């Protein structure tokens, strides 16, 4: 076991992601469709209520770990004694070694006022952190992108069944090391961050894939994990692009089939698999 991770008492409270319900189609006929779960999970950090996340609920412990890390609420994994999820009360209780509620409240009150995202997470502090991050991506082969996209076809299970979720993958070259889906794309990223933290994985040699859009917060979070390549099936925003330029991240959008668009890092690309015109 990795240092730290062995010591954490964790539940394993993942729930089913989808379930069938009856809808009516354009012929007025009943049809059975799977729909994605969405569950509130309220985080209590040393008994202090922090936030309610709306989640698919398949990997709540990793989500909570990643949330704590990405929000800067806990700095060292070794400080965490337990992560205990109890769906009966829709709560995740996190116990730390030096539970200091007052200190936490101070952190939190600072956090509120800088809160951003779709409408959500910390912003000001993240942007400050970003100015310190310089990524150094290795050259990236076009063939690697295609292999990775081909490998991803076996994932996105819940999306295929039920839609209404975003998927994220942590990849080493074209190998998918970890994949997760959630109703919120920020949750999916946080779950990956939780997995990396728990298993002491570094981001420098990884590729991050998401089905979601490349907005500022996606780029910030990937950069915080020191992942130098961010690949998406969807589009990008100006601010996502600005932040990729600032950190030196390779930013690729609209990656699907043989198509993609390199928005940043063209000079790092090796076009070794150009499709025929």
Rounded CA gap, 219 and 165, in Å? Answer: 19
**Shortest distance, CB of residue 7 to its own copies, whole angstroms?**
27
Q: Does 39 bind its own copies (CB under 8 A)?
A: yes
Which of residues 99 and 235 has its CB atom nearest to its own copies in the complex? 235
Q: Which residue has the tokens 């409408």?
A: 119
Which of residues 134 and 258 has its CB atom nearest to its own copies in the complex? 258
Which of residues 49 and 200 has its CB atom nearest to its own copies in the complex? 49
Residues 208-267 that bind its own copies (CB under 8 A): 213-217, 234-241, 253-254, 258-263, 266
Residues 46-75 that bind its own copies (CB under 8 A): 49-54, 67
Residues 135-164 that bind its own copies (CB under 8 A): 142, 162-164
Element (H, E) at 196: helix 185-198
Q: Does 131 bind its own copies (CB under 8 A)?
A: no
Q: Which residues pair with 1 in a beta bridge?
A: none
Q: Which of 12, 27, 132, 154 binds its own copies (CB under 8 A)?
A: 27
Residues 80-109 that bind its own copies (CB under 8 A): 108-109
Sign of CA dihedral 127, 99, 48, 80: positive
Q: Which of 6, 28, 75, 102 binds its own copies (CB under 8 A)?
A: 28
**Shortest distance, CB of residue 70 to its own copies, whole angstroms?**
10
Strands 91-96 and 39-45: parallel
Burial code of 140-159, b = ≥16 C-beta within 10 A, e = fewer?
bbbebbbbbbebbeebbebb
Site string for its own copies, 106-125 (x = CB under 8 A): --xx-xxxxxxxxxxx-xx-
Q: Which of 9, 40, 101, 175 binds its own copies (CB under 8 A)?
A: 40
Q: Tell me, letter by letter, the H, E, C secondary structure of 47-80.
A: CEEEEEEEECCCCHHHHHHHHHHHCCCCCCHHHE
Q: Which residue has the tokens 């954490």?
A: 8
Which of residues 7 and 261 has its CB atom nearest to its own copies in the complex? 261
Q: Does 24 bind its own copies (CB under 8 A)?
A: yes
Rounded CA gap, 140 and 132, in Å? Answer: 24
**Shortest distance, CB of residue 4 to its own copies, whole angstroms?**
25
Q: Residues 87, 56: contact at Cβ < 8 Å?
A: no
């Amino acid at each position: 076991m990795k240092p730290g991770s062995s010591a954490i008492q964790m539940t394993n409270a993942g729930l089913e992601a989808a379930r069938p319900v009856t809808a009516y189609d354009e012929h007025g006929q009943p049809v059975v469709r799977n729909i994605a779960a969405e569950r509130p999970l309220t985080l209590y950090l040393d008994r202090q209520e922090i936030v309610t996340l709306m989640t698919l609920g398949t990997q709540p412990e990793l989500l909570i770990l990643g949330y704590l890390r990405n929000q800067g609420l806990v700095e060292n994994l070794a400080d965490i004694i337990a992560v205990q999820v109890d769906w009966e009360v829709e709560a995740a209780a996190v116990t730390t070694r030096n539970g200091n509620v007052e200190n936490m409240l101070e952190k939190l009150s600072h956090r509120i006022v800088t809160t951003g995202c779709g409408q959500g997470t910390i912003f000001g502090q993240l942007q400050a952190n970003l100015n310190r991050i310089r990524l150094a991506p290795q050259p990236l082969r076009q063939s690697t992108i295609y292999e990775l996209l081909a490998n991803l076809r076996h994932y996105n299970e819940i999306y295929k069944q039920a839609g209404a979720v975003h998927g994220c993958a942590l990849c080493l070259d074209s190998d998918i090391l970890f994949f997760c889906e959630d109703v919120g794309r920020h949750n999916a990223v946080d779950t990956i961050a939780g997995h990396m933290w728990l298993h002491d994985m570094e981001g420098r040699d990884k590729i991050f894939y998401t089905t979601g859009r490349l907005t500022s917060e996606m780029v910030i979070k990937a950069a915080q994990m020191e992942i130098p390549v961010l690949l998406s099936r969807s589009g990008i925003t100006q601010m996502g692009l600005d932040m990729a330029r600032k950190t030196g991240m390779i930013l690729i959008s609209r990656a699907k089939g043989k198509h993609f668009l390199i928005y940043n890092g063209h000079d790092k690309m090796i076009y070794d698999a150009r499709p025929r015109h």
